[in-house]
A and B are shown apart, each in its own frame.
Chain A
Amino acid sequence: MSVTTATPGWARPRTRPGWLARLFDSKPFLIVACLFPAVGLLLVFLTYPLGLGVWLAFTDTQIGRSGVWVGLENFQDLFEDRVFWSAVFYSVFYTAAATALKFGLGLWLALLLNHHVPFKSIIRAIILLPWIVPTVLSAIAFWWIYDAQFSIISYVLVDVLGWRDTYIDFLGTPWAARWSLIVANVWRGIPFVAISLLAGLQTISPSLYEAALLDGASPWQRFRHVTAPLLMPILAVVLTFSVLFTFTDFQLVYAITRGGPVNSTHLMATLAFQRGIPGGHLGEGAAIAVSMIPFLIFATLFSYFALARRKWQQGESND
């Protein structure tokens, strides 16, 4: 790009390019200019809040009162706090149970859908519905389903079929409430797993199955030796995302039980909110949220190593 001035009687002067043009020719400047929006967004909306959250965890900030540095005091308090440990336990249990169920059922659903079925696209679209519906709406639906007095399930079992005498108290005892929430989360999470795995299944070349058939492989052997290894990369990615989403879940629990009965269904995320915002102790809430980070890092590392293992499976060396 060059700046030219129209001077009559002159044949194209070779002017030095203007400062602007030179600026845009310089590679370092271009790198900075192009990265700036992205880096700026990350810094303002990701790094700053995260850093602020971590800083708050080491202060005794309350809503309406700025705090002072208290070191590890918040964490020491949490260490002795039974409610916190029950939230840690339930977060891990909730994630493990819900993820296992989501993957079992999601994989099964994906395998079924991978066959030729009539109205395939419509069925796939329908399956996505639980994932599309806003979480809060499905949470409210489940809240009604689990209601102690107005549950549709209890109504059908007691008043229509007469199989039970009393209404089921879904959310009234700790374990019933914990499993009820896991079921709600699984219902919501299956479509994501199923559709992602279905996409993975469709990348597997049919010729591999044909070859396996010619070798006399049984359906289980075909699944075990063809489908499973080739599905592993996408499985690892989907698994990571699913674990992260489940571990940080908030809306379902907050809308259905608010952590009750007696704190037995608090996840770390809901407990952090409960202590930080309604309870007013921002510092302690932040400390609970920060305590989630090691678990999340562990989940991410898990996926990294699962991916690395895949290369090894295919006979490549690790890099």
Chain B
Amino acid sequence: MTHTTRRDALALGAGALAAAALPARRGQAAIPVANVQPPRQPVEQGASLRVLRPTKFVDPDEVIFRENTRRFTETTGVQVRVDFAGWEDVRPQTAVAANTGAGPDVVVGWRDDPHLYAEKTLDLSEVANYLGQKYGGWMPLAERYGRKQGTATWIAIPVGASRGPCVYRGSWVKEAGYDTIPKEHDRFLDLCRKLKAKNHPPGFALGNAVGDANSFCNWALWSHGGFTVDEEGKPGINSPQTVEALKYAKELYGTFIQGTVSWGDISNNRAYTAGDISLTSNGVSLYFSLKNDPATAAIAADTEHALMPLGRATSPPEAPLLLNAMVFRHTRYPNAAKEYLRFMMEAEQYDRWLTGCLGYWAHPLRAYGESAVWTSDPKIAVYRDTCESRFWDGYKGPISAASGAVTADYVVVQMFAAVATGQATPEEAAREAERRIRRYYRR
């Protein structure tokens, strides 16, 4: 889910790297660790590894990742080649590696991928349990995506997650009579109406925007108690809760700036940067791109982050994007691969990377909540708990190719957009979504 654009991210450039370098060193001591023996996995003689991961979010993401990899080589003598692939290319490349049994040994892929190839990846339970014990435990989102469904077996090591909470202009929300984003649906709607009345409308993408639109629509659905499929993968979208969510979203849509049904992933960033909208949801990149440009620094100073209203949900109704690392069975050096992942997740390496990434990728292990990055700028604190999310893409169903396809085919987004624009009644839209979901889950 790209809440942010890489172009924004790249604009940060070297400045961010320099800024990140200092707190990185100070932060290390702060991570509380338990005294646990690492698993015994003797690295094979003459081992070498190939690693594939998505391209950088910000420069330090790649620079520090490579540095940490080099340290691994220095410590163990294992040569590691890291390839950075475009975000859209990681998934097909993972599929090819899984099917042909060749290519990278370790793939730091997207959240669902290890589950699609669970038969072809190594059991990483030892490493995961060790890391969990040492660093205060895995957070809920990491457990959901790290473990094979319904078992205690770890098939992946979650590396970092990115969420899209509410990003808003503090002064305009105050003008509308609210100190922060309310937790209830009706008060949130009231806030949006008042913002619109003051000519500072909110704006959420309802177009074919993989990241932003799915995250807004999932919030609307889940915060009303709706879901796409039940625990067994049977369609459950055609429910009174969904209809209620659709009616609410239609009301909310009435307060939006016009044109959000044609918005892509970058549109809300642009509209917010131009001061056209007062409130949207996005990753932390929007804030940093505002802060680092002198022309928009004033907007950054007025920008606040808060969770989207919980509504009826008990935890934030959102499914963050997660980097999820897996080791393929076809690797010739399984111990070296596991050691590599363990090494990269240890505080000496991981905290530097986490801090360098400025909060773009939030930690999956609880102890890293103490990292200096989360106090380096009080405004990004809300991103710290990204992995506390108890929802996932395709909630409440199994993580499968179908859940990914429903997201990629905008089934839920289009259900909301059709109702918001008056092209369908809530009941019709829910039935149509059910039909499409059934087709994806049937296979």
Contacts and interface: CB of A to CB of B under 8 A. Distances in A.
Interface stretch (B64-72, B92-100, B368-376): B92-100
> By CB atoms of chain A within 10 A, which of B98, B116, B271, B409 has the most?
B409
Interface in A77-126: 77, 82-83
A215 to B, nearest CB: 56
Contact of A148 (B94, B258, B439): B258
A239 interface: no
A300 interface: no
A275 B409 contact: yes
Contact of B443 (A62, A83, A149, A174): A62
Interface stretch (B47-55, B163-171, B218-226, B259-267): B259-267
A169 B259 contact: yes
B99 A261 contact: no
Contact of A259 (B99, B208, B257, B408): B208
A150 B264 CA distance: 14
Contact of A260 (B261, B271, B432, B443): B261
Instruction: Give the secondary structure class of A's interface.
Output: loop
Interface residues of B, number: 39
B266 to A, nearest CB: 10
Interface stretch (B179-187, B314-322, B359-367, B415-423): B415-423
B258 A174 contact: no
B385 interface: no
A261 B409 contact: no
Interface stretch (A23-31, A37-45, A222-230, A276-284): A276-284
Interface string A50-79: 000000000010111110000000000100
A150 B274 contact: yes
Interface residues of A, number: 36
A155 interface: no
A167 B432 contact: no
A303 interface: no
B421 A173 contact: yes
Interface string A155-173: 0000000000011011111
Contact of B99 (A64, A166, A171): A64
B443 A64 contact: no
B160 interface: no
Contacts of A280: 401, 404-405, 408
A149 B274 contact: yes
A294 to B, nearest CB: 24
A171 B405 contact: no
Given A260-B207, A261-B207, A148 B408 contact: no
B66 to A, nearest CB: 28
Contacts of A77: 439
A258 B267 CA distance: 14
A250 B423 CA distance: 25
A274 interface: yes
B262 A257 contact: yes
Contact of B414 (A62, A64, A262, A279): A262
B25 interface: no
B117 interface: yes
B258 A169 contact: yes
A291 interface: no
A258 B207 contact: yes
A263 interface: yes
Contacts of B190: none
Contact of B208 (A64, A173, A258): A258
Given A149-B274, A258-B208, A64 B258 contact: no
Interface in B395-409: 401, 404-405, 408-409
Contacts of A272: none
Nearest to B416: A262
B276 interface: yes
A288 interface: no
26 contacts: A64-B94, A64-B98, A64-B401, A77-B439, A146-B262, A147-B259, A148-B257, A149-B259, A149-B274, A150-B274, A166-B258, A170-B262, A171-B261, A172-B262, A172-B421, A173-B421, A257-B208, A258-B208, A258-B264, A261-B261, A262-B418, A262-B423, A263-B414, A280-B401, A280-B404, A280-B408
Q: Which 9 interchain pairs have the tightest Cβ spacing? A: A148-B259, A64-B95, A171-B262, A258-B208, A278-B408, A261-B261, A279-B409, A260-B208, A260-B207
